[in-house]
Amino acid sequence: MAGSPRVGVLALQGDVREHARVLEGLGADVSLVRRPEELAAVDGLVLPGGESTVIDKLARAFGLAEPLRAAIADGLPVFGTCAGLILLADRVLDGAEGQQSFGGLDVVVRRNAFGRQTESFETSLDIDGFDAPVHATFIRAPLIESVGARATAIGTLPDGGVVAVEQGRLIGTSFHPEVAGEDRFHRRFLAHVETR
């Protein structure tokens, strides 16, 4: 569709199809990003949930890690969910040995903060700027341990744990909105893409 925002989903591992489906449903022109030249062709990028250590290793192997860091630093709109949030964080706690993030988001994130897959859960969350609660699915999810001066917490658990943040054109969630068919975060991300 002419004039649609051109967005990519990092397609190295994880729930790539689910994000692509939501974005296409919102009218975006979606491409799967596995190489630097594919990254250079998009106006925004989704970092999907999956296994952050695997995505990190594959990004380095495919020569994507440094171009991604540079694009994020240059203002590329990015939405990271779960593992994608870990990859966006400036600092990662409990990471695997040698694990790196792309950085850009002024937060400290603890990997697998809620425990194993069996400790996965769903809940309703109030999100700043949304008119109704979000149904949030947490699967081996990270927790945002601290939010720096450049970022803003936009969603917390009842105990005060931060699980959604925004910083300029960057959005990160500990949970998977795409799993529940929740599209408001993707709409928010696309608004950042369109104003870039």
Q: Please check whether residue 38 lies inside any domain of the structure.
A: yes
Distances (CA, A) of 105 to 34, 78, 119, 125, 165: 22, 10, 26, 21, 9
Give pLDDT, residue 113: 86
Residues 6+ apart with CB under 8 A from 71: 39, 45
Q: Please check whether residue 64 lies inside any domain of the structure.
A: yes
Q: Please check whether residue 10 lies inside any domain of the structure.
A: yes
Q: Please check whether residue 106 lies inside any domain of the structure.
A: yes
The tally of domains found in the chain comes to 1
Q: Please check whether residue 157 lies inside any domain of the structure.
A: yes
| Catalytically active residues, by annotation | 82, 176, 178
Residues 6+ apart with CB under 8 A from 118: none
Mean pLDDT of successive 10-residue stretches along the chain, which has 196 residues: 81 95 96 97 97 95 97 98 97 92 97 77 94 92 96 96 97 93 95 91
pTM: 0.95
At 90, which CATH number?
Answer: 3.40.50.880
Give pLDDT, residue 13: 95
Give pLDDT, residue 1: 42
Q: Please check whether residue 154 lies inside any domain of the structure.
A: yes
Residue type, 169: R
Compute the distance between CA of residue 91 and CA of residue 86 in angstroms, rounded to an integer: 8
User: Which H/E stretch holds residue 39?
Assistant: helix 36-40
Give pLDDT, residue 117: 66
Q: Please check whether residue 1 lies inside any domain of the structure.
A: no
Q: Please check whether residue 33 lies inside any domain of the structure.
A: yes
Q: Residue 175: count other Cβ atoms within 10 Å of its Cβ.
A: 30
What are the residues facing 146 on neighbouring strands?
A: 108
Compute the distance between CA of residue 65 and CA of residue 47 in angstroms, rounded to an integer: 12
Domain span at residue 11 reads: 6-194
